[in-house]
Structure 1
Amino acid sequence: MASNAISDIADEFLVCQVCLEDFRQPKMLPCLHTFCQPCLEKLLAAEPVGKLDCPTCRQDVPLPQNGVQGLKFNFLVGKLRDILQQQPAGKTPEAREDGVPCTVCEVGNSAQFYCVECTEYLCQTCNNTHRRFKATKSHKVVTVQDLQIGQVTADGDQVRAPLSPTETTLMRPDVAIGNGGVSPKHVKTVGRRGSGDGQFDLPTSLAVTAEGDIVVTDRDNSRLQFLDKDGSFKKKVDLRFKPRCTCVAALTNGELLVTGDGHKIHVLDKQGRKSRVIQVTEAAETGQTTAGVAVDCSGRIIVTIGHQVFVLSPSGDVMLKFGDKGQGQQQLGSLLHVTVNSSNQIIVSDFYNNNMKIFDSTGRHLFTCGSHGSGPGQLYRPYCAITDSEDIILADCGNHRVSLFSRDGAFIRHVLTEEELKCPTGLTLTHDGHLVVSQALSFLTALRFFHVRMVFPDGPEVDDFRKKVVKRMAAPPWNFTDSLQRGLKGSAYSPFLHDAVMLYAIVMNQTLQTGEDPRDGEAFMRHARKKAFEGMSGTVILDGRADREPEFFIWDMDPSGTFDVVAQYDARPTGTEVSDDLLQELVFVKHIVWADGTTNAPTGFRECGYMNEQCASQQDIREEEDKKKMTQLVYVQFSN
Structure 2
Amino acid sequence: MAASLSQLSVLSQISEEFLLCQVCFERFSKPKVLPCLHSFCEACLLRYAPDGSHTIRCPLCRQESELPENGVSGLADNFFILNLSDVFTPRKDEGPRRKAVCTICVGQQPAEAHYRCLECVDFLCDECAPSHDHRIARFTRKHHIISVPASENKKLLKREIVCSKHQSEAVRFYCESCTVPICRECILIEHKDHSHTFLQDEVTRHKNTIDGLMKNVRDRIATFEEALRGVDEVEAQLEANRGQAEYVIERTLQDVMSLLRKQQQELGHRLARICQGSKQQLTAHRRSLQSGLDNLLSGFDFTEKALGHGSELDILSIKDQVIERLQGLAVVSPQQDFTMEQLSNLYFEAKESAVDHSLPQLGEIKCGDKTFSELSQATDTRSICSIDSNELDDSSLSECAPKSPKRTAKESVLKKPQILFHLKDETDEAGEFDWPSGVASTADGEYTAIVDRDNDRIQVYNRKGRFECKFGSRGRQPCQFELPLDVAITGGDDPCVYVTDEYNHRVQKLTLYGQYILHFGDNGLFKQPYGIALAKDGRVVVTDIGKHRITIHDPDGNLISSFGSRGDADNQFNEPRYVTISNNRIIVSDHCNHCIKIFDFKGTHLHTFGSCGSGNGQFIGPTGVCTDQEGNILVADCADRLQLFSPEGMFIRHLLNESDGLSGPLGMAMSSSGELVITNLGTHCVNMFRYSSWV
TM range (shorter): 0.3 to 0.5
Determine which structure has the larger helix proportion and give its number.
Answer: 2
Q: Which has the larger radius of gyration?
A: 2
